[in-house]
A and B are shown apart, each in its own frame.
Chain A
């Protein structure tokens, strides 16, 4: 029923834009599944979302509410660009150095809010949000300064990456790059981790921090580890966007991927398979909305509206379910809730 509401609102919005909803929906589907090119586009749009989301999953499970993926992704892309452009090396070396630099950049940007949260009790929601804006300006500063392209170009951007630093394409005629394999590897790793004792301790930390602390997971350790993991993943996603897609660092590299990635993690119920599924749905929605914008007069920002409405609908459905059955407190979609409740208290 909640999905029905979302659908009604979306139809109303399309009608408001002066388009025929049926045409718009066929445009959406054409833009997502029309041919192998757009299917590949959907996959490469979903890939960074999945990586960011799988990266914040441990933090959100542990009740650490980091919203800094956007800035960490930007800094990851920036550091990996700086390193890739300054160090020589063969193909595989370049790729390895690039992703490591991206991860290091993302972790560096996550370290400050992690330490502030762990030792000075600074609300991590706010510190990470503020750092996102600082990261955006820092990127611009670097692209107008040390990382500025040698060619005379008015808009800020870096030099193009050398070809050996590009992620190889998997399918001719499309932009499907090898980065999607990284998603599969992360998915497997996340599925294994959630079933280990460590995974359980982090999850316990959200609802019973004292208990998890007695089991060997102290508060500072939980906060710092999960935030660094989230930073590393977002940084790797930033590297992947340049290495796999644009091959040049532009100021627009973040493009809201960090924010949407967090939404993907929540929509996926903080469980690895759910997250990858949610990333595919939102990736399809994004590329589909682009297709819809080309075919009809419907602006592509409708994707953002649908994403927000979906999250709202899911939050209401989860709440409705737990209201009906008080015994379902241990249901899989529940722990993050208790956790975030606690974390919101400054």
Chain B
């Protein structure tokens, strides 16, 4: 297989859509959080916890159980952050770093208790793949766009939903108001604290599902380090996408494209070290981050002391 073969690009692009799915969920979760004016730096730990919870849940109750477990675990981490920052008044960056440690450490701990040998990769039921009738048989576009897991379609529906919610509904308006000007919002009778609590918890749920989209979306098993910094990529994706769902989609696809390309690089490209391809997704994300750095598009109260 090589680069002037259409089949090669079909595999790479289909892989990109698959690999973008976890990022879309996680980035939407972070975006909702940041739109409310808080930042969740624990995202990588929460995705790791979600990825593991999904495998445990799926091995016991099938893929729906896996998704539910990941959502609950993600929501619990969101709740912990919300309580520490909003009720406890703790510094959100420090809390985020602490949660990043707890999330990955606790997951690794529980994983080793669950699978003491550590080497047996346990395979669990995946989220089913839906071939959209008619469209899935199209040449090229069928495999790339129309034969994915339910999670991928759900991510796109959610993307449209969040887009509509933020732009067109009262709830979305309140969320943005709290993130831009909490003082002004509270003068309007909006309970900033409650909205932020909800945003951080829902954000955590989506990050947990984002982790699940890695393990029960396509891998089928869990290993420590399976998230591979995708939480931090999602953070970058939110900025690259200028805090809009459509922008996040573009950012997620960009990283996922290079990620997918690197997975294929082992089978070809004479003379170029494969590690170079593994660097590419992160390097490309950094590059676009630099390009999009100018201007202030973020919520104005982002990262400031809550309250």
Residues of A within 8 A of B (CB): 13, 16-18, 65, 67, 116, 120-123, 125-127, 129-134, 137-138, 140-141, 144-145, 259, 262-263, 266, 297, 299, 301-305, 307-309, 311-312, 314-316, 318-320, 322-323, 336-337, 340-346
Are B104 and A304 neighbours in the complex by a CB distance under 8 Å? yes
Identify A319's interface contact among B89, B104, B302, CB under 8 A.
B89
Cα–Cα, bound, A308→B104 (Å)? 10
Identify A137's interface contact among B90, B236, B279, CB under 8 A.
B279
Cα–Cα, bound, A123→B283 (Å)? 15
Cα–Cα, bound, A129→B290 (Å)? 14
Asked, given contacts A126-B289, A134-B282, whether A305 binds B105 with beta carbons under 8 Å apart, the answer is yes
Are A308 and B98 neighbours in the complex by a CB distance under 8 Å? yes
Cα–Cα, bound, A268→B65 (Å)? 42
Are A116 and B290 neighbours in the complex by a CB distance under 8 Å? yes
Stretch at the interface among B106-114, B142-150, B188-196, B204-212: B106-114
Are A312 and B106 neighbours in the complex by a CB distance under 8 Å? no
Cα–Cα, bound, A140→B207 (Å)? 29
Are B113 and A126 neighbours in the complex by a CB distance under 8 Å? no
Whether a CB of chain A sits under 8 angstroms from the CB of B275 is yes
A-B contact pairs, 11 of them (CB 8 A): A17-B113, A125-B235, A126-B289, A127-B286, A130-B285, A134-B282, A137-B282, A297-B113, A299-B113, A307-B105, A319-B90
Are B84 and A344 neighbours in the complex by a CB distance under 8 Å? no
Are B239 and A123 neighbours in the complex by a CB distance under 8 Å? yes
Asked, given contacts A17-B113, A138-B275, whether A320 binds B89 with beta carbons under 8 Å apart, the answer is yes
Cα–Cα, bound, A262→B279 (Å)? 24
Whether a CB of chain A sits under 8 angstroms from the CB of B233 is yes
Total number of residue pairs linking A and B with CB closer than 8 Å:
178
Q: Is the interface of A mostly helix, strand, loop or mixed?
A: helix
Residues of B within 8 A of A (CB): 39, 41, 45, 84, 88-95, 97-106, 108-110, 112-113, 116, 228-229, 232-233, 235-236, 239, 273, 275-276, 278-279, 282-283, 285-286, 289-290, 293-294, 296, 298, 302-305
Identify A130's interface contact among B99, B100, B282, CB under 8 A.
B282
Are B41 and A312 neighbours in the complex by a CB distance under 8 Å? no
In the A-B complex, the 6 residue pairs with the smallest Cβ-Cβ separation, listed nearest first, are A304-B105, A344-B303, A308-B101, A308-B102, A141-B275, A299-B112
Cα–Cα, bound, A309→B303 (Å)? 22
Task: List residues of chain A with CB within 8 A of the CB of B275.
Answer: 137-138, 140-141, 144
Task: List residues of chain A with CB within 8 A of the CB of B305.
Answer: 341
Cα–Cα, bound, A314→B278 (Å)? 37
Task: List residues of chain B with CB within 8 A of the CB of A303.
Answer: 105
Given contacts A126-B286, A315-B94, 13 further A-B contacts (CB under 8 A): A121-B294, A126-B232, A129-B229, A130-B282, A137-B276, A144-B275, A263-B98, A301-B108, A309-B98, A311-B98, A311-B101, A344-B93, A346-B298
**Nearest-CB residue, chain A, relative to B287:** A130
Cα–Cα, bound, A5→B28 (Å)? 32
Are B228 and A299 neighbours in the complex by a CB distance under 8 Å? no
Are B101 and A305 neighbours in the complex by a CB distance under 8 Å? yes
**Nearest-CB residue, chain B, relative to A17:** B113
Are B285 and A315 neighbours in the complex by a CB distance under 8 Å? no
Asked, given contacts A121-B293, A266-B94, whether A301 binds B283 with beta carbons under 8 Å apart, the answer is no
Are B105 and A125 neighbours in the complex by a CB distance under 8 Å? no
Cα–Cα, bound, A120→B293 (Å)? 7
Cα–Cα, bound, A218→B107 (Å)? 43
Are B108 and A299 neighbours in the complex by a CB distance under 8 Å? yes
Are B98 and A312 neighbours in the complex by a CB distance under 8 Å? yes
Task: List residues of chain B with CB within 8 A of the CB of A144.
Answer: 273, 275
Residue among A17, A125, A127, A133 facing the most chain B CB atoms (10 A cut-off): A133
Asked, given contacts A126-B239, A130-B282, whether A307 binds B101 with beta carbons under 8 Å apart, the answer is yes
Are B95 and A315 neighbours in the complex by a CB distance under 8 Å? yes
Are B41 and A125 neighbours in the complex by a CB distance under 8 Å? yes
Identify B105's interface contact among A16, A301, A315, CB under 8 A.
A301
Cα–Cα, bound, A137→B277 (Å)? 9
Are A263 and B278 neighbours in the complex by a CB distance under 8 Å? no
Cα–Cα, bound, A342→B305 (Å)? 9
Shortest Cβ distance from A324 into chain B, in angstroms?
10
Cα–Cα, bound, A17→B105 (Å)? 14
Are A312 and B90 neighbours in the complex by a CB distance under 8 Å? yes
Are A299 and B290 neighbours in the complex by a CB distance under 8 Å? no
Are B283 and A134 neighbours in the complex by a CB distance under 8 Å? yes
Task: List residues of chain A with CB within 8 A of the CB of B41.
Answer: 125
Shortest Cβ distance from B80 into chain A, in angstroms?
8
Are A346 and B239 neighbours in the complex by a CB distance under 8 Å? yes
Are A341 and B293 neighbours in the complex by a CB distance under 8 Å? no
Shortest Cβ distance from B165 into chain A, in angstroms?
22
Identify B88's interface contact among A122, A320, A337, A344, CB under 8 A.
A320
Shortest Cβ distance from B179 into chain A, in angstroms?
11
Cα–Cα, bound, A102→B39 (Å)? 34
Task: List residues of chain A with CB within 8 A of the CB of B90.
Answer: 312, 315-316, 318-319
Cα–Cα, bound, A141→B277 (Å)? 10
